[in-house]
């Protein structure tokens, strides 16, 4: 009897030591933010306490890794793909947003991987110096994020109008809203803007005049060196073929003239007020 208790006293601490690691599947969790799934099966005698602590420390290190810098993202649309019908068709909107814009975002994330985090608006200023990958894809991301938010379904868009301040600046710079639209459509015509690009209404650097600017590819007037001076877009139209070809084929002028039916002038007026006050480009989502 005495011998039994001596053996029990000697072995009890050892049983207590190994009991937690004799249970299989005690760890089955997901480590955030890296979403690494771990299924650790601990078998008797296969891990010492030191090894368990070392593994725990390693997992804690993985879990504490910060998200990658420059994680630009495609913003969700504020309306369904079909909402701009009949002027911009749903298949075009879906491909344009989910494929074309997403490709620009993936490529700008790749181009800026490992570099300091820079807001997409700030990235525009020195895009030409940063090289083609940043210029094309950073511009593509900013331009499209800007484009989505200036449009609204036709029934909503027709209820909007330029603010009094914006209308006064339009009249000063172009003569009237109709004259501005005519000049815009002429600048967007294939003969005036050959190939792919964008057409913009911008506030000049001094903030006292509107300018009509056409840019090739994914350039925009925020980029130093694209125009005579850095200017601040308040309205922009994508005239790449991917923006209209499914519905309009080679009829770009028809696409441009129909586009006015989905322009949200409340948003354009908001853009105007922002850039006049801040002397800066309009921030975008994503």
The string of DSSP letters for 66-106 reads PPPTT---PPPPSS-GGGGTTTS-HHHHHHIIIIIIHHHHH
Q: Is the pLDDT of residue 13 over 60?
A: no
**Tens digit of each residue's pLDDT (9 = 90 or more) over 215-246:** 999 999 999 999 999 999 999 999 999 999 99
Dihedrals phi, psi of 183, to nearest 5 degrees: -65, -40
The mean predicted confidence, pLDDT, of the chain is: 84
Please, which residues have CB within 8 angstroms of residue 43's CB and are 6 or more apart in sequence? 21, 22, 24
Share of the chain above pLDDT 70, in %: 76
3-class state of residue 137 by DSSP: helix
**Tens digit of each residue's pLDDT (9 = 90 or more) over 68-82:** 456 999 999 999 999
**Tens digit of each residue's pLDDT (9 = 90 or more) over 91-115:** 999 999 999 999 999 999 999 999 9
pLDDT of 47 reads 52
pTM summary value:
0.77
Domain definitions of the chain by residue range = 17-63, 81-278
The order of strands in the sheet holding 197-203 is: 210-216, 197-203, 232-238
3-class state of residue 33 by DSSP: coil
More confident residue, 62 or 2: 2
pLDDT of 23 reads 38
- Nearest Cα neighbor of 218 from 113, 119, 107, 117 is 107
For the ranges 45-54, 154-163, 178-187, 219-228, which has the lowest average pLDDT?
A: 45-54
pLDDT of 215 reads 99
81-278: in CATH 2.40.50.100: no
Q: Give Cα 284 distance to the centre of its chain.
A: 8
pLDDT of 148 reads 99
pLDDT of 60 reads 42
Q: What gap in Å lies between CA 139 and CA 222, rounded to an integer?
A: 9
Cα first-last separation, the chain: 76
- Nearest Cα neighbor of 263 from 283, 242, 234 is 234
Question: Which residue is associated with the tokens 């790749």?
Answer: 110
pLDDT of 69 reads 54
pLDDT of 2 reads 44
> Tokens in use for 76?
């969700």
More confident residue, 154 or 36: 154
Cβ–Cβ < 8 Å for 237, 258: no
pLDDT of 19 reads 42
**Tens digit of each residue's pLDDT (9 = 90 or more) over 16-61:** 443 443 333 433 333 333 333 334 333 344 455 455 445 444 444 3
Cβ–Cβ < 8 Å for 273, 265: no
Q: What gap in Å lies between CA 15 and CA 71, rounded to an integer?
A: 50
Question: Which residue is associated with the tokens 């075009």?
Answer: 92
- Nearest Cα neighbor of 195 from 218, 174, 172, 213 is 218
Sign of CA dihedral 126, 130, 135, 137: negative
| DSSP letter, residue 28 | E
């Amino acid at each position: 009897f005495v011998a039994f208790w001596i053996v029990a006293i000697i072995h009890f601490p050892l049983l207590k030591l190994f009991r937690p690691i004799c249970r299989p599947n005690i760890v089955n969790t997901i480590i955030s933010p890296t979403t690494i799934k771990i299924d650790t099966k601990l078998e008797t005698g296969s891990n010492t306490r030191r090894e368990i602590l070392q593994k725990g420390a390693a997992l804690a290190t993985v879990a504490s890794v910060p998200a990658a810098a420059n994680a630009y993202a495609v913003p969700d649309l504020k309306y369904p793909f079909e909402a701009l019908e009949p002027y911009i068709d749903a298949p075009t909107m879906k491909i344009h947003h989910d494929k074309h814009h997403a490709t620009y975002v993936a490529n700008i994330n790749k181009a800026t991987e490992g570099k300091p985090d820079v807001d997409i608006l700030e990235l525009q200023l020195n895009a030409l110096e940063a090289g083609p990958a940043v210029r094309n894809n950073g511009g593509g991301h900013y331009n499209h994020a800007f484009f989505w938010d200036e449009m609204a379904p036709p029934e909503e868009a027709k209820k909007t109008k330029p603010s009094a301040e914006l209308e006064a600046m339009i009249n000063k710079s172009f003569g009237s809203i109709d004259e501005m639209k005519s000049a815009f459509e002429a600048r967007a015509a294939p003969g005036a803007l050959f190939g792919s690009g964008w057409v913009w209404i911008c506030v000049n650097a001094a903030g006292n005049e509107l300018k009509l600017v056409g840019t090739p590819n994914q350039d925009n007037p925020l980029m130093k060196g694209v125009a005579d001076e850095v200017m601040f877009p308040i309205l922009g139209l994508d005239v790449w073929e991917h923006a209209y070809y499914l519905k309009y084929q080679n009829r770009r002028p028809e696409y441009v003239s129909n586009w006015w039916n989905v322009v949200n002038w409340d948003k354009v007026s908001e853009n105007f007020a922002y850039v006049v006050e801040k002397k800066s480009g309009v921030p975008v989502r994503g």
